Every structure is written in C-alpha cells, then in structure tokens.
Structure 1
Amino acid sequence: MKKRRNINTILVISIAFLFAFISLYAMIPPSPDKNADFVKNFSADRALHHLKNIANTAHPSGSIENEKVRNYLVEQLRVLGLKPEIEHSNHASLYPKMITGGDMYNVIAKLEGSGSGHAIMMSAHYDSVQQGPGASDDGAGVAALLETIRVLKSAPTLKNDIYFVFTDGEEQGLMGAKEFWTESKHKQKINMIINFEARGTSGPSIMFQTSKENGWIVREFAKAAPNPVTSSLLGSLFEIMPNDSDLTVSNENKIPGLNFAYGDGWTGYHTPNDNIQHLDIRSLEHQGRNALEMAKHFGQLDLSHTKQENAVYFNFFGLVISYSYYWVYPLTSFIVFLFAMVTIIAVKKNAATYKGFGISLLAIFSAIVASILATVLIWMGVNALWAEKMTLFSGAIYDSSLYQSAFLLLTVAVSLFIWKKFRSINTWEMTLAAIFLGVIFLLLLTQFLPGASYLFAWPLLASLLILGWVVWKDKTESIADQPLILTLMSCLPVVLFVPLLKLLFTFFPVSLAPYLMLLVVWLLALLFMHSKLLYQLGRWVPHTLVGMAIIVLAISFFQANPGSDRPIDSNLFYVVDQDKKQAKWVSLEPPDKWTEQYVTATNKSNIKEILPFNYDKEAWVGTALVRNYEMAKIKLVKTEKKQGKKFIHLRYLGGNDIQNMYVSVPGGRVQKVTIGKESFVIPKTMQTFYYKQTGIPKKGLDLILEIKGEKPVEFTFASEQHPDPEIRSKRPSRWISTGIFDESIFITDRVTY
C-alpha cells in the first residue's frame, strides 16, 4: 500500500512539475530560423547589422553620436524606399521641483497603405543613456522596425498606412513622444500605436501594457502574436507603478496601443553592458516577429472602432485567453456561491468541520508569516554580507535568480514543517481554508485590480468544481488516492501562477521577492493534497529543501566577486568652477578601491551645493587639477525693468558637444519663464528655480525670465559634456559606469544680472 502511495505521489508531483515546465518553456523566446525565406520573414541577423551601427557607442540626446544614429536612420529609410522626415522642436515640461527641456529630433517615415484612411504608428526610441550604447534599450526596437519595413516592402500592400516613428529623448523624460503628441502634424492621423522597449538584455518580448478600453486590441493581438507572452496583471501593475515609456504619452492622449518589452538580464540595463555582446539574439528575434506580425495583422483591419470594454487576458499553454471585464463580477459572484455550497455540503458529510477550517486558516497564516519573516531576515543577512556589493545603481543584483530560488525552497520547507505540527487538520479543511483566502483575494482584486482577478478566479473555480463533484459523489475519503483528480486540481494553479511568478521575479527587485512568498504559500495550501503527499515521502523532504537552499546561497556567496564579467557600480565625474578657478572630483557613491584616489570618505557635500541641479543627494569630493574647458556660450540679449520686475533675455548658443545645460536662480524670484515658444508660470513652491536643457538647437535657444523685483540676481550655470577621458581610460574593468553624471565633465559659472 505504501509503495503504491509513493508511486502515486511521485506521479502526481511529476505531472505538476511537467505543467510548470511546459508553461515556462512557452515563454522562451524563439531562436532565429536560419532556413526561413528572408524575403517573407523577419531576420534577426539583418536586424543585427543595423544594430551594430545604432549601438556602436552611447548616443544620448544632444550628443554628436545621437546625430550620427539619426543620420543612419534617415539613410536606411531612404534605402528602403521611404521618404523620411525629421520633426524638430524644443520641448519643455514643468515639474514640481524643476523644468526640463530638450532639443528633440523625431525621425518619421510613412509606409503607405492602399487607402483606407486609417493609420498605425509603430515606434521605438533611438536615444540611449550616456552610460551605455543601448543595444537593447532601445536599439533592438529600432533595428526590429527597420527590418520589419524591409519585409513589408516586399509583401503585398497593406490597407492601412503605417507611420514608423523613431523618437528622441525618451531617456530624458519621454520628450520625443511628448513632442510628437503635442506638435506633430501627423498625430491626428494615428488610430493606434505599437511601441517597443526593453529593460534588460534577454528574455521574451512581453506585451506588458495596453491602453484603456483594450478589449478589441487585446483580442486582435491574441490572433496575430507569434509565441505570445502577456498578462493583464502586468498591465494593471504598470498603471499603478511609477514607470513610464513612450506609450504612457499616447495613453494620456487616449490612443489605443500595445507595448512590448523584454526584461531579463537586468544587470545590463542602463550600463555599458547593454551592448551587442550581451544581447540575446532570441530576444531581438521575438521583438521582430511581434513587430512584423502586428504590422501585417493590424495593417489589414478596420480601425474605425478600436475601443471596447477592458479585457482580462493571460497565457495558457502558449495561447492567449481573454474576456471582457463585464464577466469579472459575475464570475466572482459564482465562485463565492460555489465556495459556500461546497463548504456547507463538505461539513454536512463530515469531510470537514468549521473548527478544523479555523485551525487550517491559522496554519496557513502561520506559514505565510513564518516564510516571509524567514526570507526577509535571510535576505537582510545575505544582503549585508555579500549581495549588497553586487547590487547596481538600477537595483539589479547579480545572481538574483539564485536568491529567488533559495526563497522558494525555504518557503516550501517552512510550510511543510509548520503544517506537520498541525496534526488535527485534514486535507479537506486545509484546501477549503486556502480557497476561502483565495476568495478574499479575488474579491479585493475584482474591486481594485480586475485585470489580475483571473489569477485566483480560474484556479478557484476549477478546484471548487472538482471538490463539488467529489463531495456530490461521496468520494471524500479517497480523493487523496486519485491521481487523476489531483492532476486536474494542480493544472490551472500551476500553469497560471508559475509563469506569473517568473515575470514578477524578472521585473521586481530581489528585496521584494520575500513578500511574493505569500502567493507561494497560498498555492501550496490550495494544493495541500499534493503538499501532504510530498511530506509523506519522508521527513527528509523539508530537510533536503533547506539543504538545497543553503547550497544555492553558498553558490551565490562564492560567486559574489566583482570582475570584468560581473562589474559593479563606480561613480565619478569632474567639476571645474570657472569663477573660483577650482576643480574637484565628485562621486555619488562612497569611495571604492579605485575612486578613493580621487575622493575621500570624510569630505562630503551635496549635489545641490556643487551643481545647479535639484538633486538632493550626498556626494563625496576630492581636489582635482584645473583643466582648460570652455563654458557653453550664453548670450545676454537684453535686460529690461518695468512695473517692479526685471526681464532677462538670454540665448543659449551651445558649444562643442555640450549635451546638457543647467541653470539655477535662488530666492523664489523667478515668476515666469519662456523657453523657445513655451511659457511656464513658476509655482511658489519652487523657491530655487532649476532648469535643465538637453541639447542646444543649432540656431540657439531663447530663455526669457520674469524676475520679481529690480535688484540684481545671481544665475548659476553649468554645462555638461561626456565622457571624461581620464575616467574612461583609467577605470579598471571590474567597475562599470552607472548612475547619474558618471564620466561627465561639468563647467560651472556664476553671473549676476
């Protein structure tokens, strides 16, 4: 009997792992097909050729390298038979603490359709951060669109026009997208947008965000997407998290849209390692296939009515299941009713007791609290001992998957240990208690985050239907010995939760992973019949899991050594004060073994005291030799006094590869500013006026400030160029350029008007 039970246990657990494997396998991005007809199919190799020209080096907005990439785009679009145009303007935005502006150049090309009168916009940004070449963020998106155009040009003409828009200034605050949706002459023609992004160097191309009223667009996406990876939970989370992309701007303008990105390999994000060598070509292939199929599919559709009630959507064995929000409340209500009925019948037939139900709830809560507490404490210790030094400016950590795996192993072990202590609970009471908690989660999600409701709704519905049938047939005593029933109960929970946890582990920092153990404990409780079988294999099971977790953490410990293949943060930049004829080295990170030759641990300051930039951040400082750099040219056009105010008209003329200009005016005296054609009333809360300008228009940029009072006022200016040759050439390979200002050269000056 025991031998048969062990065989059943191994069979049931193996099938559950098989479900998990299949669901994760469906998320692996496709490899390029070397035998495919390149005329009709996307070619990652051809896209890679473009990428080598786009991501050869860092090309932030306002830089000479950015202009080179722009010229390459224009040249290639012409080679592809399109007529590219450049929309140029200076776009500025007022924020609570400062104003930012940018000299933006969006590249736009139209692939004409057969004349439906409708148009799609496909977009990616071609600027990078100054720390890295941006092969993934967002060179891969740009290259994928260029290759998509090649394939579309050789195919039959689509019904709808497609505008390919390569935006500038995304890394500076979505400036290119804001310029397009504010100023572009083409904006009124766009019926929907498809945007491509990245937050890493590998992984599947995930459709992670949509617009409001997405029912139609999600349904059509499901029909066309090759190897789709998506979840309405991600879309719901992205709405409430402080993250933006170019689609954020189109969403604000109520344009239907889809957003694609890949996010594995976070340690390469916004660093020099966001290069072609670290790019997984499968991710490029997946982005490209999505781009091509979206263009072909939506290019043939009637875009007159693209808005319908929001949809819940998710992956299921490589398919996309979707249904309207209208079904969320009825489905939730039915599950609540079904839970009440199954529980009442189970109690009447002595399969469970209300007392046992309460004890089971206590057992689940105990496991949740113990698992979260254990993993949080372990993470605090691990982080303090070795993980913190392997953490980058972005929050990414080397070996994050090892830490997450250790948390999972420990959570399973802790849950099994605790539940073994509750000897009086039975499988029915435990399962019903888990379903009760799931119903509570479902009710909350239905009300506040309906896009995530599917995660609990379908596993709960499947479990309740199976349990209801078992109770109805009076098979409550033998359910744990029925491999088929146990297999059916594990299918939906595993297939829905496992890939979702993988996505959350990908996009969330490791410090939040312990709190995701709540979901893991709940899943184990819902599948308590399986968990109990696992423990019945022997007491060695939880001990083995703990041992495996220790081994995994030990591996992470021995790998926690910075090197050229695993470089860590180092921040250093140069500031020369033309007024005082002084120069200094500055770092936003405590001195490391390399920067300690430039800055000292005891000499601290604040960025606000060093630069005219509203960034309240501690800085470490050291004395530097004064170099002969020229400040960007700033011309005083005129000053004028009237009605108790002073009007100062300046003109930025730029200089040699000046990427950013900064200015501050203290005392709360700036009341209004006009930047180019845009005017802003300065809020009283901005006691010190701060303005950052990315790139200077070749014809110059006019800046007119309205100052309260006629007394003289001091302006502090700073110009920024990049990179500093000494830092770039002397930094050892075990350290990497990350974080704001790194490798920059600042020239500051004060002028009183």
Structure 2
Amino acid sequence: MLQRTWSVAVLLVVVAAVGALAVLAFRPPSPRADAPPAEFAAGRAEEHLRAVAQRPHPIGSADNARVREYVAGAARGFGAEVSVESDDVVRAWRGVERVATTHNVVARVRGTDPSASGGKALLLVSHYDSVPTGPGAADDGAAVAAMLETVRALGQRPVRNDVVFLFTDGEEAGTLGAEAFVRRHGVGDYGAVLNWEARGSGGPVWMFETGPDNGPLVSAFAAASGRPIANSLAAEVYRLMPNYSDFSAFLAAGARGLNSAFIEHVHDYHSPYDDVSRLDRGSLQHHGDTMVGLVRELGDRDLSAAGGGSAVYFDLFSRVLVRYPVWSAALLAAVTVGAFLVLVVVRRLRVLFVAGVAAGAVVVAGALTFALWAAVAALRPGLAFLALSEPHERGWFVAGFAVLGLAVLLGAARLVRGRAPEEVVGGVLVLPAVLLAVTAVLVPGASFLFQWPLAVGLLALWRPRLAFLPPLVAAAVYPPLVGTLLVALGMPMAAVGVVFALLAGVLLLPLLGGLPRHGALVVGAVAVALLAAGTLRFGFSPAEPRPNALVYRLDTEAGRADWLSGDPETDEWTRRVLGEDPERVAAPPLPEPALRADAPVLDLPAPTAEVLPGPGALRLRITPGERAWRTHVTLPGGSCRFGGHRLGGRQLELYGTAPREITCELAPGEPVVVELVDHWVGLPPGAADLVGARPPDTMPVQSGNRPYDAALVRAVFRG
C-alpha cells in the first residue's frame, strides 16, 4: 500500500510539474534594447511610445492631432507613402448617434513585386487615439510604436507584397476610424487584416480572434513568432462577450485576419496609470516580434488565394502551435468517441456511477466558487469600486479557488475508491467523450480540450496502469488557458475558470484514489484559509488605490449646479462635497443613477446653438465649448441630417470642439428646442479647488467602468 501511495505521489508530481512548466512558459519574451536593422527592438520602439503616450489624446483633442502628426512624420521618415484620410462619421452606438471627424493615418510600404503575389496588400491596424482618462501607453500606444518600428524594419528588408499600416482614430469612441476606412476602401484589396490591441499593461501577446477561412493565417502565425500563443476556444468565448475592437469593423465587412492583444494588469487599463513607466517592455517586444514575423511570413505569399478553411488550434508551452482543419476535428472526434464506446462495451465496463461523480465534481466546484465569491463580495463591498470588481491581490483568491477544486477532487476520489481501475478510468472519460461529441458539432474551436485527453485515455482504458496519460496531456494544455480565462473574465466570473480546471482535474481521479482518505477535509480547510486571507487583506493603499470620481454638473438653463458620483458609496474624498448621506437619483446624461448633492454655481463656458438663415429646412450650427471633448445633443423632432448622413434619432454625441451644422425637417409650428451638454475631462479649476487633493490611496475612475472625473455644462437653445 505504501509503495502504491509513493508511486501515485510521484505521478502526481510529474503531472504538476508539466502544468507548472506550461504556466511558467506563458510570458512575453525579454525585451531587446537593440537588434539587427531588419529585426524588432523594444528599445527602438520605446522612443515612439514616449512621444505618443505623453498625455491623454482622445479623438478631437489637440493632443490627438499632436500624436497624429508624429505618427505620420515617423512613418514618412522611414520611407512609407503616408496620407491622412479625414472622414465625417455618423454611427449608431448604444442609443445615440456618434458624430465625429476621424483622421486615419495610412502608411504604405511598397512591395518589390506585388503582382507576382496576387496584388493584394497586407493590412496592419492599431489605433492612435486614447481614452480621455489615460495616456494610452498600452492601449494602444504599444501597438502604434511597434507598428512604426515594423515600418522601419520592413524598409531594411522589403517583401513582395505591399504592406499597409493603418493607424485609426476614434477606436475608443466606437471604432469610428475603422468604420470610416472600411466605408472608404472596403476590404477587397487586402488579403489579410492584422489588428493589435491591449487590455492592461502587460502579459504575453495572445491571438484571441480570427476571421473566416483562418487556416492559412493560423499557420502563418505559428511560424511568425517564437512564442505563438493562441487557442481556438478564445474566439468562441470572445464571441459571447460584449467587447469590440477595430477588428470588429473589418470582420463585419468580410475580411480575413487575426486579432491579438496582451491583457494582464487590468487595473492600469484606461487609467492615468496606463503610462510608459508601467508598460511591460516584454509585451512591447512580443507585439513587435509577432508583427515583423507575420509581415515576413505573409509578405511573400499570394494573398489573393481564397479559401483554406478554418482551423482548430492551441499552443503547447507557448512555443508550438498545434493546428488542424475543422473538418478533420469532426472526423477525429467521431473516431475517438466511437473507439471509446467500443472499448466500454467490449470490456463490459460499468462507468455511469464514476461518470456521475466526475460530472458532479465539476458542478460542485463551480457552484462553491460562485457562492464563495458572492460571500467575499458581500463582506468586502469595496470590491465594487474596482474595475471588473477585480481585487489587487488576486493571487490569494486564485490560489484559494485552485485548492478548493483540489479538495472537491479528493472528495470525489473517495467516492470512487474501491472500484475496478478500468471502471474508474472509463467513468472519468465519459465526460470528455460527451463534451467532445457536443463541441465537435456546435463549437469545434473548443473540441481540442477534450479530443486529446480522450485520445490518450483510450490507452489508459486498455491498460489502467497508463491512467496518468490523460491528466498529463491536460496539464500541458489547460493551466495557461484557465489562467487566461481568470484574467479575461475576472474574479466575479472565477467559477467559469474553475469549471474548466475541473474538466481537466477529474482525469486525476484514478490516481487520487490512492491517497489518504481524509485529504479532502485538510485541503478544503487550506482553501478556506487562503480565501479568508485574501478577504481580510483586501483594502486600499497608495500602491493599490481605490478608484473614485466626482462630476460637477452645471445647468445654465436652471441656474443651479450639482455634485454627482457614480461610485457605489462615498469615501473620504467624495464626502467633502457630497456629505455623509447623499441621495441617489437619476442624473442625465449619466447612464445610471448617481449620488447627488448641491454645488455652487461656477461661471463656465457653455455650448451654443444658432439657427442659420436661409429658406427651407431648419439649419442649426452647434458649437461645443472650448474645454469639451464630447457634447451630448438632443435635437427637436423631425428628420435630421448631418452632411450626407441621415440621423436615426434625436440623441447625438459630437466629438471635438469643431462647430457642426445639422439640418432638420420640422413639422409646421413645431418649436425649436435643442439641449446641449458639454462633457469636460476632469473637474474645472473652481470645482477642483473646492474638493481639494485626492487622497494618496485613491485614483481616478477609469473610462468605461463608470462615470469618471468630469464637468457637465448644460445649455438649452430655444429658437
């Protein structure tokens, strides 16, 4: 018995070591300060990054123009043919019509013989605008800098195809620049679109989305980088999320391509901390290595060749990308599931009890994780202040939920103890067999998760001594994938990651049955202790600040002003003006009810509207205030147009301070009433003086999370 326990322990250590190796390999390469001229160096790209990410530069701002001029000048200096394409864009977006003038920078590097390669160009895309709340070093300055360094490297060693580098404007306002480019050019001239993004300030670059017929591009990606990190499950998951990027516009137009990003350190995302000092230089290097590699791989190919089919793919140890056609995935699944059923029937195995225990373990672990996180959130309401409710010291919770999953597995192993080894092996393989059959038909991109553990599991089913093979394969594939899910979805959705972890973990049941009987209780206690430690340690400090925000709202029509905050509750800073017990009320144009208190009336410049003379339809000129970065407009009834665009509703958002002319056809006698609300970034000086300095353990709320520091100046025009 003792010898068996030691043998099991050794096998478990081997499985754990493979899993640890997969996790340790999941990181970006070391940055290179310098490199040969035709290669990428993060040190050279950093010079561009420092020029781009000096300050926030949202669409329509003066800093946006500064960045645009720098990008165009740098690309032109490296020999590219550069143009700036300006387009008026109107796009319906979440109940309003967004109106902006985008300025896309298009840099073309001519190929040596593009006609020989089909005549289609390769298109690389990043956006040079930032959110108004951060300088955008990662999002998307790192990609902009990497593309400029790639332009330089391409000039040292050209390829046959034309390569177009598109630096879009207005991505953060709803992919406005990408929409303008697609409307102007379409996608027919481009054989592949490669988009580059970030959601955080570090981590490896992860190719998480593809277009149709992705097989050839996935193969190119596999050869392009020394660390090709990707899996086809990611695209299936991303499709279910409300996220978007410039790639969405190209994908909707029918383009083929790849979308890549790094996503770790989410607390820096869209915040003042998205600066050059916090950016992981390894992430910048990984961006560039992959960009240059893909340009080399695709630059000499015939990009006009259509088809190629889609692929199922996943990486091993962040070094090798395994891929095969979707049609072969269905065939493999049919053969593997069929062979499994034959073995179960031929050997007359009774597998249903063990299969039920395995499925129950997955469900129980997921439910416990969901319930325990709900308890943590109830005990620590301050989590609601954080983006995605993600704690700063998330490692305690990740470890706690991982150990909790192990405790559930040990409990399940006790239930199947004493059964014939081949029945335990067969029972745990029922779950991947069922899921393989389902995913191969409905979501083939996820089928690899179950295909390969089940395939090697056939050997274990024939020879139970080989029961360590399925968990060994799973240990090579699942850990970085589960870790990425936990980062992408956040701790509130940790149950999803735990469910995926347990789908691999149940494969350990044939081995865990040889361990001591009472291990589940001990391990469960350790899990509770880790979660309790994370809960007790949760708090805010200068190194781990709490996001908070105040909005000053001035209504020039009513002659009154308010303090507003979308925060869950007040804190030391916001209580200075909101008081101890502010009311929570609807506070348009903020999207959700907000805390409110009276504020002094300050003399702030307001947006204006005027009726232009002339016969026929009503012509309005709307002029935002000089501090506005966005102006919300409520038009009178009737049918309205902006330039050549018919507006679909009465609610507009204008970006930038340029005057806009809007034409409306009104019913006879209908009054002309136009409501205007300027949105300033940050509190105006007078309001900032009243509230005082923000405490060092707080930070401004990030854009996209909830209302951030701003001034809203409302005016009403009556014609």
Instruction: State the shift of 1:361 in Å.
Output: 2.9
**Which residue in 2 is equivalent to 1:597?**
576
Identity %, equivalent residues: 26
Q: Deviations for 1:365-416, whole angstroms, at most 9, x for unmatched residues? A: 4323332332222211111112743752344332233212211101211231
Matched positions, count: 705
Amino acid at match of 1:692: E
The answer to whether structure 1 residue 490 and structure 2 residue 471 are counterparts is yes
Instruction: State the shift of 1:681 in Å.
Output: 4.2
Secondary structure of 1:104's aligned partner: strand
**693, 698, 707: which one aligns with 2:666:** 707
Instruction: State the shift of 1:539 in Å.
Output: 4.4
**Which residue in 2 is equivalent to 1:10?**
9
Q: Deviations for 1:411-459, whole angstroms, at most 9, x for unmatched residues? A: 2112312431455534332322222222221222122211111111111
Q: Deviations for 1:42-66, whole angstroms, at most 9, x for unmatched residues? A: 1111212211121122111122221
**Which residue in 2 is equivalent to 1:552?**
530
Contact 1:63-1:657 at 8 Å conserved across structures: no
Distance in 2, matches of 1:588 and 1:139, equals 29
Contact 1:582-1:626 at 8 Å conserved across structures: yes
Distance in 1, matches of 2:129 and 2:58, equals 5
Distance in 1, matches of 2:666 and 2:356, equals 65
Distance 1:237 1:153, change over 3 A: same
Q: What does 1:31-430 align with in structure 2 at a 5 Å threshold?
A: 31-34=30-33, 37-95=35-93, 97-116=95-114, 117-155=119-157, 157-184=158-185, 188-317=188-317, 318-347=319-348, 352=349, 354=350, 357-386=351-380, 388-389=382-383, 391-423=385-417, 425-430=419-424
Instruction: State the shift of 1:320 in Å.
Output: 0.8
Amino acid at match of 2:505: L
Contact 1:459-1:492 at 8 Å conserved across structures: yes
Amino acid at match of 1:191: G
Distance in 2, matches of 1:394 and 1:713, equals 42
Contact 1:127-1:170 at 8 Å conserved across structures: yes
**591, 597, 604: which one aligns with 1:622:** 597
Distance in 1, matches of 2:672 and 2:599, equals 30
Distance 1:306 1:391, change over 3 A: farther
Contact 2:471-2:505 at 8 Å conserved across structures: no
Amino acid at match of 1:245: S
Root-mean-square deviation (CA, aligned residues, Å) is 2.2
**Which residue in 1 is equivalent to 2:718?**
752
Distance 1:639 1:16, change over 3 A: farther
Instruction: State the shift of 1:125 in Å.
Output: 0.6
Amino acid at match of 1:63: S
Contact 2:204-2:283 at 8 Å conserved across structures: yes
Distance in 2, matches of 1:694 and 1:285, equals 33
**Which residue in 2 is equivalent to 1:475?**
none
Distance 1:393 1:11, change over 3 A: closer
Contact 1:109-1:163 at 8 Å conserved across structures: yes
Distance 1:663 1:228, change over 3 A: same
> What residue ranges of structure 2 are gaps of 5+ in the alignment?
none
**Which residue in 1 is equivalent to 2:491?**
510
Instruction: State the shift of 1:752 in Å.
Output: 2.1
Contact 2:23-2:479 at 8 Å conserved across structures: yes
Distance in 1, matches of 2:24 and 2:8, equals 24
Distance in 2, matches of 1:633 and 1:713, equals 14
Distance in 2, matches of 1:201 and 1:548, equals 32
Contact 2:425-2:461 at 8 Å conserved across structures: no
Instruction: State the shift of 1:745 in Å.
Output: 1.7
The answer to whether structure 1 residue 662 and structure 2 residue 663 are counterparts is no
Distance 1:693 1:733, change over 3 A: same
Secondary structure of 1:240's aligned partner: coil
**Which residue in 2 is equivalent to 1:474?**
none
Instruction: State the shift of 1:640 in Å.
Output: 6.1
Distance in 1, matches of 2:299 and 2:688, equals 49
Query: Higher mean Cα deviation, 247-256 or 82-91?
Result: 82-91
Instruction: State the shift of 1:177 in Å.
Output: 0.5
Contact 1:391-1:398 at 8 Å conserved across structures: no
Q: Deviations for 1:251-299, whole angstroms, at most 9, x for unmatched residues? A: 1111111111011111211111212222111111111111111112211
Contact 1:417-1:542 at 8 Å conserved across structures: yes
Contact 2:607-2:676 at 8 Å conserved across structures: no
Amino acid at match of 2:398: Q
Distance 1:429 1:23, change over 3 A: same
TM-score, normalised with respect to structure 2: 0.93
Contact 2:409-2:509 at 8 Å conserved across structures: no
**Which residue in 1 is equivalent to 2:564?**
586
Amino acid at match of 1:580: A
Distance in 1, matches of 2:31 and 2:262, equals 16
The answer to whether structure 1 residue 437 and structure 2 residue 431 are counterparts is yes
Distance in 1, matches of 2:47 and 2:105, equals 20
Distance in 2, matches of 1:489 and 1:369, equals 20
Secondary structure of 1:451's aligned partner: helix
Instruction: State the shift of 1:4 in Å.
Output: 2.8
